[in-house]
Structure 1
Amino acid sequence: MKLNLGCGSQKLEGWVNVDSAASLMPDQVVDLERTPWPWSDNVAEEILLSHVLEHLGPTPREFLAIMTELWRVSAPSARITVIVPHPRHDSFLNDPTHVRPITPEGLLLFDRRRNLEWAEQGVGNTPLGLILGIDLTIVELEHFLDDPWLSRAQAGEISRTELIEAEKRYNNVISQTRVVLEARKT
């Protein structure tokens, strides 16, 4: 099974297209903030959340329940693709329905191996993978630059180091981020 969660009007052939809005005519109407979800354990080989996760889980408890459900319904080695607006881009900042920034660094908190490494090093990051009993690891990461940064990078006018510094200092450098997680299950 492939789940396109929060599909909106972007329905994909060969996927179960899921949305909370019946008016969009998804394959299944599901409120993703109400857990447990209506699917069995280990059934999804692939999950897509394109501009969805930043809208879900307004409280930490609800967000962690959503992450736990993603893990639960994922088959071993399932790929979970998360596409989100960058938290320092106007498209994130101007939308009142965005309830939380989603960052690669935040998603690392669900990686058990990282949790164990941090514990050994005395790092104070919250080991959510260990706490929740889930294990999601980042296998791909891609940032999409916004103009004029994209044009400058393509023209070789700005180095990678300068782009990283710009991302830390300015808004509207990166428009969105795509993270692919893998559900590590034995």
Structure 2
Amino acid sequence: MMSILFPSAVPQPSNLRLNLGCGYRPMEGYVNVDLYGTPDLVLDLETFPWPWSDNTVAEVQLIQVLEHLGRDPKVYLKIWQELYRICKPRGRLIIEVPHHRHDNFYDDPTHVRAVTPLGVRMFSQRLNREWNQRGYACSSLGLNLGVDFELRDISYQPSSVWFQRHPEPEVNWQLLLRESQVYNNLIQSLRMVVEVMKPT
């Protein structure tokens, strides 16, 4: 385990893969980073700037992490700016979070915010411009912060409550999404793949 005291001393390969907020779940082939657990690098992700150079990171894993970060919205938005800064063009973020309507989200007192697909889409400059033209009230976070991300894929993990209600082996995904707008605890978590949009 190494504590980062001097960011300029951290090696800067050009194709880094980071597992941020790794806790006790390090991943092979990644630089595992956390303030706690068993990381390769000890780092408070709410302290800036992060110790990686611009355009050096190809992939960032954020597994059950973002919901713990940025109680202050300014800190949360700065995290997205740092992700954009360090990532290469066409780099990707793998984000897994508890579903905001599942008890797992509410039970943990260290969960400070819901992370939703629409919240991630607000960092897309393409969508910001489209929404502004249509007069939508969504925050233009991509344009305001100088970042640009595109949400490319979303997958959902149904909960045990869903399978109690619908024990059939094949999940009806459209029904799951419709019912989850009405009932809590049907989706346990979601996984999003986000692409970093930068000029090459």
TM-score normalised over the length of structure 1: 0.93
Deviations, residues 50-84 of structure 1 (Å, cap 9, x unaligned)? 00000000011010001111111111100100000
Any conservation in 2 of the 1:76–1:185 contact (CA below 8 Å)?
A: yes
Any conservation in 1 of the 2:26–2:38 contact (CA below 8 Å)?
A: no
Of 3, 21, 35 in structure 2, the residue corresponding to residue 20 of structure 1 is 35
Partner residue in 2 for 1:83: 96
Distance 1:38 1:57 in 2: 18
RMSD (CA atoms): 1.5
SS at match of 2:188: strand
| 2:55 is equivalent to residue 42 of structure 1 | yes
CA offset at residue 171 of structure 1? 1.2
Partner residue in 2 for 1:183: 196
Task: Give 5+ residue unaligned stretches, structure 1.
Answer: none
Deviations, residues 85-110 of structure 1 (Å, cap 9, x unaligned)? 00111111100000000000100000
Partner residue in 2 for 1:118: 131
Partner residue in 1 for 2:81: 68
| 2:18 is equivalent to residue 9 of structure 1 | no
| 2:163 is equivalent to residue 143 of structure 1 | no
TM-score normalised over the length of structure 2: 0.87
Distance 1:41 1:159 in 2: 42
Instruction: Give the total of aligned pairs.
Output: 183
Task: Give 5+ residue unaligned stretches, structure 2.
Answer: 1-15
